[in-house]
Amino acid sequence: MNVRDELLIDGEWRKPASSVRIPVVSPSTDEVIGEAPDANADDVDAAVRAARRSFDEGVWRLRPVAERAEVLERALGLIEPKLDEIGRLVTAEMGLPTAFAGMQIPGALAVGKYFLDVARDSPLSEVRQTMYGPAAVVKEPVGVVASIAPWNGPFNMAVSKIWPALVSGCSVVYKPAPETPLDAYYIAEALVEAGVPAGVFNYVTGDRDAGRALVAHPGVDKVSFTGSTAAGRQIGQECGGSFKRLQLELGGKSAAIVLDDADLTTTMTGLATGSFFNTGQVCAAYSRVLVPSGRYDEVVGALVATAESFVVGDPFDPATTMGPLVSKRQQERVLGYVEAGKAEGASVATGGGVPAGLEKGAFIQPTVFTGVENGMRIAQEEIFGPVASVIRYETVDEAIAIANDSEYGLHGAVFTADPQRAADVARRVRTGTFSVNSFTYNTEAPFGGVKCSGVGRDTGAEAVESYYELKTVNLTEDMTPLFS
């Protein structure tokens, strides 16, 4: 049992005010593998007050960027020897197969180092000559940041949220998802050991009530949230009332458009990852596959074979390529969508149920629906499971119209042998991120969505920039060198 009974508040590991604990249940065995505190409003208040004090006193934000980056790089170095241990914990918490955890967890540290390099190379002020005289445009940290993360990539998400906020000089209160509260303790411990001052980073675990208290706290200047669109709407309403800065990476219903000249092998490689990776628990997943009538049967046959090629089972088995969903609740949700799809007239070409012999846990078969109309629930609502809906189209214009007929706009793709056609489709699909002949999550370019898929960008240099506010200082001529 991995039992944690403390929260990191104001540089100290403290017993929570709340006596309630969150059980951590393995989705592959249904067994409780650990527990963490379920922080209450008093715990959240203490964490935010600590962050507020550290920011207002300037113990971190007034340090040069290079010094902050040095401390944060030291923390990454402290984490690195423990990557295998962290990977096993993530596998136990949310079911990511060890083969993938072994690649993802080290990749998270590389992303952290990238953010530090961006901050080091980015000037904090620029002098502009204007008709009114010289003006300095200065970047300053936005303030106290409430970071709330999901469960589908817990360690990666922690690094991606914490490092750009801290290197920019913000103070942070970080709350992981209640399903996966254990792995980021390694990050909190490393930050303390590396020398991040008391109050600059605070770690609280808790359920939705803790998240609500954190978002609503008047001491918070910005909320960074990744999760469902429904929760994002509530957060947006709360933040709007007090004009808190907001960064939301929400749901998706991304369409992969297969053109009539697409290479089938390349297409299936992209869809294998895009539609089924992480048991389909990816906000950017290609959950709609748009196929021209002339190639419909061919692509469906190949996609069915791709789905059936996954080895579903124990995520600790090196041979496993698809683990369980994160919880029984999520399994019930996905199976409910399968039934809804059948009730609306779509057909299950493969999958659609629990694999034989895997009744314990939250396992599900990779599923392909055919005969799907874009107005069906399975084509409009985010399922967050390994379910791909294949939709027939006649013309490229129709395919683009179908792709854009969604409240979401997070990701999308086109598969084609023609670069010009790829560029044309990429420009016409309304989405924040787009891939050509692949499923690419590019952490050195901005990732985020339009419409109901969110606000802001979580990766690339833009992620660091999002934690700064701009201040204009109108100068006299003799002050110009002070801001250059």
75 closest CA partner among 193, 170, 167: 193
Could you tell me the sign of the dihedral formed by the alpha carbons of 386, 391, 395, 397, in that order? negative
Check if the beta carbon of residue 365 is closer than 8 Å to that of residue 353.
yes
CA 103 – CA 191 distance, rounded (Å): 23
Classify burial at 453, counting beta carbons within 10 Å of its beta carbon; exposed 0-12, middle 13-18, buried 19 or more: buried
Question: At 152, phi and psi to the nearest 5?
Answer: -80, -10
- Burial of 380: CB neighbours in 10 Å, binned 0-12, 13-18, 19+: middle
CA gap 2, 331 in Å, rounded = 24
* Crossing angle of the two packed helices 396-404 and 419-428, in degrees rounded to 10: 40
Give catalytic residues, as residue numbers: 249, 283
Distance between CA atoms of residues 256 and 373, nearest Å: 15
Give the residue among 168, 164, 185 at the shortest CA–CA distance from 85: 185
The crossing angle, in degrees rounded to 10, of helices 83-94 and 98-121 is: 120
Sheet of 125-130, strand order: 125-130, 133-141, 468-474
CA distance 462 to 445: 8
